[in-house]
C-alpha cells in the first residue's frame, strides 16, 4: 500500500502539548496567560504542573500558538 493510499485514520495522531521555547517565530499567535479562557488557563496550569500531559481535543488552545506564562510555551504535537 502506498503512502497516498492510506486513510488519515491509519496514522497515529498525537495530541498537542506545550513545549517551552526560547524564541517566537515572526507571525506567531501569542497570548498572555491572562488572555486565556478559564478552561484553557486550567489546562495550561495542569500541563505545567505535570497533572496532564496533553491538551484536550475540545480545548480552545490552537496548535502553533504561543502562551506567555513564566516562559514561552508553544502548543504543538510532540
What is the mean pLDDT of each successive set of 10 residues along the chain, which is 78 residues long? 43 76 92 93 92 88 92 87
Q: Three-class SS of residue 58?
A: coil
Q: What is the pLDDT of residue 78?
A: 64
Q: Do the Cβ atoms of 37 and 60 come closer than 8 Å? A: yes
Domain ranges of the chain: 34-78
Give the pTM. 0.72
Q: What is the pLDDT of residue 39?
A: 92
Q: What is the pLDDT of residue 13?
A: 59
Q: What is the pLDDT of residue 15?
A: 80
Amino acid at each position: 500500500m502506498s503512502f497516498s493510499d492510506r486513510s488519515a485514520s491509519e496514522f497515529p495522531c498525537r495530541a498537542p502539548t506545550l513545549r517551552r521555547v526560547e524564541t517566537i517565530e515572526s507571525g506567531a499567535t501569542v497570548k498572555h496567560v491572562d488572555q486565556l479562557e478559564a478552561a484553557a488557563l486550567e489546562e495550561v496550569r495542569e500541563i505545567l504542573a505535570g497533572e496532564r500531559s496533553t491538551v484536550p481535543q475540545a480545548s480552545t488552545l490552537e496548535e502553533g500558538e504561543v502562551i506567555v506564562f513564566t516562559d514561552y510555551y508553544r502548543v504543538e504535537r510532540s
